[in-house]
Amino acid sequence: MRIRVTTRADLFEERKQQHIDRGYQIEDERPIPVNGFCSFVAVREIPPSDALSEVVVRAINGNHRLHVED
Report field, pTM of the whole predicted structure over 0.75: no
pLDDT digits 0-9 by tens, 45-64 = 876 666 677 777 777 877 55
Q: Is residue 26 classed exposed, middle or buried when 0-12, 13-18 and 19+ CB atoms within 10 A define those classes?
A: middle
Q: Count the helices and strands in the chain (H runs, E runs).
A: 2, 4
Could you tell me if 23 and 32 are in contact, meaning their C-beta atoms sit under 8 angstroms apart?
A: no
pLDDT digits 0-9 by tens, 24-50 = 999 999 999 999 999 999 998 876 666
